[in-house]
Amino acid sequence: MKPFVKTILAAAAFAGLAAPAFSEEISFWGWRTEDVAQYEDFIAMFEKENPDITVKLRMVEAVSYGTILKTALAGEAGPDVMMVRAYGSFEDLASGGYLMPLTDDVVPALKDFPEAALMAETLRSDETVYAIPFASQTMMMLYNKGMFDDMGLAAPKTWDDIDAAAQALQEAGIFPFANGTAAAWQNEVLTFGMGASTMGKGFYEDVMAGEADFTDPRFVDALTRIQNASQYFPDGFVGLDYPSSQQLFASGMAGMFVGGSYEIAAMKSMNPDIEVGVAPAPTVNPDDEGLVAVYYDGGYAGNAASEHKEAVTKFLNFLASQEFGQAFADELSNISPIPGVKFSNPDLQAVADLNQNSIPYMMLVHFRFEQPSGSTLVQENVQKMMAGDETPEEAGKIITDGIATYYEPFQK
């Protein structure tokens, strides 16, 4: 036998004997295929502190992740730890009993998390948290800061500022807004990213208390102002799809974009020179409170049927630690909800500051659990309203009636 082959065999035998003694392997699935390198780093951090545990990462492309994960869990072949979505899509999975309940004993750090973050990963029927929330997203106004500075324009605060900025941009031959309404989901972003301040915290609280619905003047006023702003959207905006909107803004052909905090990184990857400014939704009066709309993206959950409960618990505690949250924010440029995390990236810090004055991204957070979901209703009807085929009052009425089919406070 050749010495080389001998060495290999000996090494294999040694590895085979030695491996079980000092390493327990757990699997970890997610949908962030674009973040594999960063997640490998996070896992290396964890493995360094816990040499007896090995984490095997598998990222599945986002569109089919849900289906693959559900099939695997139903067939008892699921991962030990996994990324799960939030709200309605989270409940889809959690209600099947596949996830490990995360009480304060299991993951003590959770009790310091913001309540809104925990709500995203709580099953409403048993009021139990099943996942560690990992990031929040903010719906707001983005503007091309370099362009605004060159033209002597300040960050828009009120609807009047928006008008003034839009007219100045138009005169300079630039599209004031990059937004289009062809992709249905963009209409929901538009509604709350641009309308949150006009609706106000009071409106949100009243809806939650069952004292107001979407025919409320505050909601209708927001829709009216958004519809009116469509005069500053590109020609043919009803046929403009989402990637084209991104292109228009990133290339400097448009000055403002109503969008999510995830757009900042996307814009910078398309045009590294762009300086993106962020602002809350425009207010009616100069001294009104400017608000953004916030939701949580997803969380990390343990498999209730895992054979490595202890290792899974250790890994989950790591994913809830400030150390991980800091690395997550630094490496992935996302807003971690973990208390005490600092944002070295100024863009991220700006969004985190905006999040101090916010309302939840209402339809996703509260009305995406049943059919017809509030999201579907807003997307279809605001799209119709923006095309001029429906008035803001009609849109508000249809949204309310649709939700009323399953939401008791709206049934009068």
Partner 1 sequence: MPSFKPTRRGLWITSLIAPGLLVMILFVAYPIISALAYAFYDWNGLARGEFVGFKNFSDVLLREPYKSDIQNAFMNNVIVFFSLMVIQNGAAFLLAYALWREFPLARFHRIAVFLPVVLSTVIVGYLWKLFLNPVFGLVNNLLKSIGLTSLAQPWLGQPETALPALILVNAWHWVGFPTLIFLAAMQRIPGEIYDAARMETESEWVKIRKIIWPLVAPAATIVFVLQFIGSFNWFELPYVMEDILGSPYGHSDVLALYFYRLAFGGPSTGVADFGHGSAVAVLVFVFITAFAATMTVFLRRREIEL
Q: Which of 103, 185, 208, 217 binds partner 1 (CB under 8 A)?
A: 185
Residue 27 contacts residue 80 (beta carbons within 8 Å): yes
From the list 138-146, 177-185, 211-219, 314-322, the region that binds partner 1 by CB under 8 A is 177-185
380 is a contact residue toward partner 1 (CB under 8 A): yes
From CA 69, how far away is CA 84, in angstroms rounded? 9
Selection from 171, 174, 173 nearest residue 143 by Cα? 174
Report 46-75 residues binding partner 1 (CB under 8 A): 62-63, 66-67, 70, 73-74
Q: In the stretch 232-261, what mask flags binding to partner 1 with x, by CB under 8 A?
A: --xxxxxxxx--x--xx-------------
Residue 143: strand pairing partners: 256, 277
Smallest distance from the beta carbon of 236 to partner 1, in angstroms?
3
From the list 47-55, 85-93, 103-111, 308-316, the region that binds partner 1 by CB under 8 A is 85-93
- Of the pair 7, 64, the CB lying nearest partner 1 is at 64
Q: Which of 180, 193, 255, 396 binds partner 1 (CB under 8 A)?
A: 180
Smallest distance from the beta carbon of 183 to partner 1, in angstroms?
6
User: DSSP E strands: which ranges in 211-274?
Assistant: 254-260
- Of the pair 69, 279, the CB lying nearest partner 1 is at 69
Q: Which residue shows structure tokens 């995406």?
A: 368
**What is residue 388's DSSP assignment?**
T
**What is residue 58's DSSP assignment?**
E
- Of the pair 60, 279, the CB lying nearest partner 1 is at 60
Instruction: Kindly state the number of chain residues that form the binding site for partner 1, as judged by CB under 8 A.
Output: 52
Using CA atoms, how far residue 323 sits from 80, 84, 327, 340, 349, in Å, is 22, 21, 6, 10, 18
- Of the pair 284, 387, the CB lying nearest partner 1 is at 387
From CA 131, how far away is CA 121, in angstroms rounded? 5
Following DSSP, what letter does each residue of 348-381 receive, concatenated? HHHHHHHTTSEEE-HHHHHS-SSSSPHHHHHHHH
In the complex, the residues that contact partner 1 under the rule CB under 8 A are 62-63, 66-67, 70, 73-74, 88-89, 91-98, 180-185, 188, 234-241, 244, 247-248, 368-373, 375-376, 379-381, 383-384, 387, 389, 402, 405
